[in-house]
Structure 1
C-alpha cells in the first residue's frame, strides 16, 4: 500500500519530526502503541515519562492521519452539548468527562511550553459562530449549559460577533477564552520529539500486519519486525485501515477538506479575524476558518470532493468577506474524522490487555492528548479509571451507507450554496 503525504499547509510549514526508522527488529516492551497521532504520541510520552518501556509504530509518518490534517482548534470539551453528555452517560460520568476535557487546552498549551514545541501556539480563544435563528438558539443553549458548569464563555451579540469575525453574515458567537489555535502537525511532531526525549521508541513506515495474543501478552507484527508487549493501544482513530481494519467498522469516517490562501494583505488582516480566534459555524454542514501566523486564511468544510469544495469555498469566502473578492488558494488537503454513533470518544478493552481509543468526532487535539495521558496514568496505577466511556462498541450497521449520506449531503450543500451565491 502506497501512503502518500497530503499537500497541506501544515506539512509545508511544520518543523521537522524526529528522524525515525521502520521497525526492523523484534522488541520486548511493556506497552506497544499502534498509531502516531495525538493519542498514541501522548500515551507514548507519558508512559515513558513514568518509566514504562514503550514502543510506537506508525504506518506512514508521525501525524500522517487526522492529527496532521485537522483544523488546529485546541478547544475545551466535546461537540455534544453538556446536558446531552449527562443524558447519555449519567450525571456523574458525564460531569467527569466534561471536567476532564474542560481543562484540555490548559494541558495542551502546558505541554507546548514544557517541551518547547514549535507549533504556532496562539491562545486568543475560539468563536462558535451563529447562523440564522436556529444557530442563535443553539449558542444560547450551549452558553447557558457551559456557564452553569463554570465555563468562562461569553455569548457575543450581533455587533460584537461581526466585529470579531469581520463578517456581517453571523448574528452571534460563543467566545471561549480557554481555547486557541495551533499548527496541528507541528504539535504532533513536537509530541514525538518529547516522547523520544523521555525514552519512548518510535518507528515510522511500519504498517501493522497482525496483532495476536501470545501467553499473557501480545505480538504486534510489521513486515520487518515485531513488538512483544503486555498491553497494546490501538490509536489509529479514522485511519484504522492502516493495520487495524476491524476497528474501523466501529465508527463512520467523514471526510473534511481544507484550503489555505496566500498570505493576506495588512488591510485584509485588519478586517478578517483581527484577534486571530479560531472559528466554526452552526450550520448543519459545518465550516471552519482561522488564520495561521503568516496571515493565511485557512477555510474548511465537510466533504472530500476537492473540485466542488474549492469552488464552493471560493464563493463562500467572498460572500463572508467582500474584501476578499480575489481568492488565491495556495494549499488544499483532506482528512478523515471518526464519528461514533453517540459522538463520544471511547476506550474499548477488546480483550485483556488490548485497548482501542477512537471516536473524537472532529475534536481530537484536547481529547486525544488527555486520553493518552489518562491511559498512561491508568496503566501505572496513577488513576482508577478513564474519563471516557469504557465500552466494547458494536459494528455500525450500514456504515458505508451512513458515510455516503454525509458525503452526498455535504456535496449537495456545497453545490446548492455555490448556485445560491452565484445566482
Structure 2
C-alpha cells in the first residue's frame, strides 16, 4: 500500500517538474519572440504574440515525446491573475466613477455582440452542416476553454469549437494592434528601453508588499472561484489591484511609498496568456484547407460585427474611434485591455467595456445553451413525428 502511494507521489512530482520545465522554456522563448515582434513593429500585442509562438513551438515538439499531453490551462489562469493586477494598478477610482453613467452603453454593445454571435452561429451551422449548439459555441465571442468544456459536456464537436475560437482569438490579437499602431505612432527603441530598465527590484519593503499583494490575490481568486465568479482569476485580481493601490494611497505613514508591479512581472503575465493559445495550435498544426476556409467565414463575420459595433459606439458615446474599436473588439478581454495599456489610451473605458461584456456573456450563456438545446430537441421531435406519419401511410392508401 505504501509502495503504491510512493509511486503515485513520485509520478506526481515528476509531472510537476516536467510542467515547470516546459513553462520555463516557453517563457524564455516568449521573451525572445516578444522582443522580435517589437523590433518588427507589432507594438501592444508583441508579448502575447511571443507567447503564442513559444507555446506552439514548444508544445508541438513536446507532443512528439508525449502525444497525450494537453494544453496547460493553469498558465492562462496565472497570466490572467498577473494581468488583472497590472490593470487594477493602472485604474484610478476618480476616473472609474465617471464611467458609471455609461454602463448602459457598455451593456448595449455587449448584448449587440452576443446577438451578432447568435446570427453568425446560425449561418455557420448551415455552412459547416453541423448542429446549432456546436456552431453557437464556436462563434460566440467567449473564452476558448469555457466554450470547449461546454461542448464536451453536451457531447458536441470540441475540435470544431476550439478551431473557430482559436482562429478568431489569434486573428484579433494580430490585427487589432496593427490597426492601433497605425493610429498611434510608437518609438521601438523607447519600448525596448522601458522593458529592459529596472527589470528586478531588490528592496526588502518592496518585496514584502509584493508578497503580501500576491498572497491576498491568490486568496481572493480562490474565494471567487468557490463562489463561481466568471473568470475569477482576472476579475478578482483587478479588484485586488484597485483596492491595494487605494489602500497604499490612503495610509498616511505609507504615502511616500511608490509601489508598482515590476516590468518583468507584467511581461510574464502577457506571455502566459499567449502560451495556452499557442499550445492549442501546437496540438493540431496540420489543418485541412476546407476546414480552415469554413472556419474563416464566421471569424470574418465576427470581425465585421466588431467594426459595426465600434461604428455604433462612436455614434452613441463620446469616445474616439480607437477607444470604440478596443471596447468592441471580440477578442480576449485581458488582451484588449493590455493593448490599451500599452497605448496609454483610455484604459478605464476599455476595461469597463470588456468587463461588462465578459459578465454579460457568462451570465447569458447558460440560458442561451438551454434555449438552443430546447430548439434542437423540438426540431428533432418534429422530424421524428413526421417520419412516423410517413411510416403509417400504406402504399395502397397513398394512391389516389
TM-score, normalization by structure 2: 0.27
Structure with more strand by fraction: 1
Structure with more helix by fraction: 2
TM-score, normalization by structure 1: 0.26
